[in-house]
Amino acid sequence: MILVTGSNGQIGVDLLQALADRYGGMHIVAADLEGSNSRTPPDVRFEPLDVRSVDRVEELLTTNPIDTIYHLAGILSASGEQNPDLCWDVNIGGLRNVLRAANERSLRVFWPSSIAVFGPHTVREEAPQSARTDPDTIYGITKATGERLCRYYASHHALDVRSIRFPGVISYSAPPGGGTTDFAVEMFFGAIKDGAYDCFVSADTRLPMMYMPDAVKSVLDLMGADSDALSVRTSYNVAAFSFSAGELAEAIQKYVPDFTCTFHPDFRQEIADTWPGSIDDSVARADWNWIPEFDLDRMVRDMLTHIGQSLGVPVDISKVE
């Protein structure tokens, strides 16, 4: 049986669906702070969980025959800067509770890290797997610390814990939850709903990004890989594409020609400025055959199609090829 924490979040909603499709909803327990939402797949049982409570984590693992945990609960970069203590308590306290409890029962664990482990002194382009991690945000500090905690449990206790350093993840099913890369999702909704979006980072802010189907695929591929093939037990770099906020606006304008985007950087600009513009994921490609399927244009067309349908404002993506 599988436990997914943070199941109501941006990644949780899509990963939960993919796991339910693959293993059957009755084999999955979804857990988050609040109740199940309308997107929780049928047959998936929802359990309230605050990952900061070691007793509640223990209770869930004692009362359910869980063998694998996808531990997604977390506080993202922008929210983290606004509440650093909460960010530390959830991201580190929660991960420690999960790793300890998993270790006592020899469970498998997936935990997402982030490009936020990199910082102002990391090489800006094609940041390699072994690039220096010197995060400048509390969120990045929790991710860099979490990566080392994962490796500690893997090397000292042989815990099968696996991790991916996600770039900004773009999706339409659930809204993003307080990150710096949220503009890349919000821009689509602004374009279709209002024909306009005021972006909180500058037009030339360039960051690594990935479309949700590839993010989900990366998790399933990594968790399905042969343990002996994995040379990284901190967290794997994965990449799909990079774009600047201005380039994304232009890519949307190809299909929504009247869309106007303005740029008024706020505190999130400072966070974005510490992250690399692109990531080298050759180790993930070599170890577990990682390969993304979506490029920028394919992602844009898919996002516009789905959001247009859900808002009842269809976008004609056949106009430009």
Q: Tell me the per-residue interface mask from 171 to 190 with ligand NAD, x by CB under 6 A, - otherwise.
A: -----xxxx-x---------
Asked if 50 interacts with ligand NAD (CB under 6 A), we say: yes
User: Is 70 annotated in the active site?
Assistant: no
Give yes or no for a contact between 7 and 60, defined as CB atoms under 8 angstroms apart.
Answer: no
Residue selected from 76, 240, 251, 299 as contacting ligand NAD according to rule CB under 6 A? 76
Q: Residue 139, exposed/middle/buried by CB under 10 A (0-12, 13-18, 19+)?
A: buried
Number of H-type helices and E-type strands within the chain: 12, 12
Shortest distance, position 48 Cβ to ligand NAD, whole Å = 9
**Residue 110 is a binding residue for ligand NAD (CB under 6 A):** no
Residue 26: how many CB atoms within 10 A of its CB? 12
- 176 vs 308, beta carbon nearer ligand NAD: 176
Assigned token pair, 187: 């821009």
The residue among 112 and 308 lying less far from ligand AKB, judged by its C-beta, is 112
Helices 10-23, 212-224: crossing angle, 10 deg rounding = 50
Q: How far apart are CA 123 and CA 131, in angstroms?
A: 7
Strands (E), 229-273: 236-237, 241-244, 260-263
Q: Closest CB to ligand AKB among 139 and 153?
A: 139
Partner whose binding site includes residue 219, from ligand AKB, ligand NAD, none (CB under 5 to 8 Å by kind):
none
Give the one residue of 169, 249, 272, 300 binding ligand NAD; rule: CB under 6 A.
169
Under the binding rule (CB under 6 A), the answer on residue 4 touching ligand NAD is no
Q: Measured from the CB of residue 77, what is the shortest distance to ligand AKB in angstroms?
A: 3
CB 12 within 8 A of CB 36: no
Which range touches ligand NAD (CB under 6 A), out of 8-16, 17-25, 279-287, 303-311? 8-16
Among 3, 6, 197, 308, binds ligand NAD (CB under 6 A): 6
Considering the rule CB under 6 A, would residue 133 count as an interface residue with ligand NAD?
no
Q: d(Cα 79, Cα 12) in Å, to the nearest integer?
A: 18
Distance (Å, whole) CA 190 – CA 206: 20
Binding partner of residue 180 among ligand AKB, ligand NAD, none, CB cut-off 5 to 8 Å per kind: ligand AKB
Instruction: Please give the helix or strand (H or E) that residue 22 lies within, else none.
Output: helix 10-23
**Which residue of 3, 4, 12, 69 would you call a contact of ligand NAD, by CB under 6 A?**
12
Tell me the three state secondary structure of residue 266.
coil
Q: Could you list the beta-strand ranges (E) of 121-256.
A: 161-166, 168-170, 196-199, 206-211, 236-237, 241-244
Q: Which is nearer to ligand NAD, 15 or 315 (CB)?
A: 15
Q: How far is the CB of 49 from ligand NAD (least distance, A)?
A: 5
Q: Which position's Cβ is nearest ligand AKB?
A: 179
- Given 73, 144, 161, 216, the residue binding ligand NAD (CB under 6 A): 73
Measured distance CA(40)–CA(25) in Å, rounded: 9
Closest distance between ligand AKB and the C-beta of residue 76, in Å?
4
Residue 208 identity (one-letter amino acid): P
Identify whether the C-beta of residue 233 lies closer than 8 Å to the C-beta of residue 154.
Answer: yes
Residue 143 C-beta: closest distance to ligand AKB, Å = 7
CB of 64 to ligand AKB, least distance (A): 29
CA 266 distance to own-chain centroid = 22
Q: Quick one: 16 or 256, whose CB is closer to ligand NAD?
A: 16
Active-site amino acid positions = 139
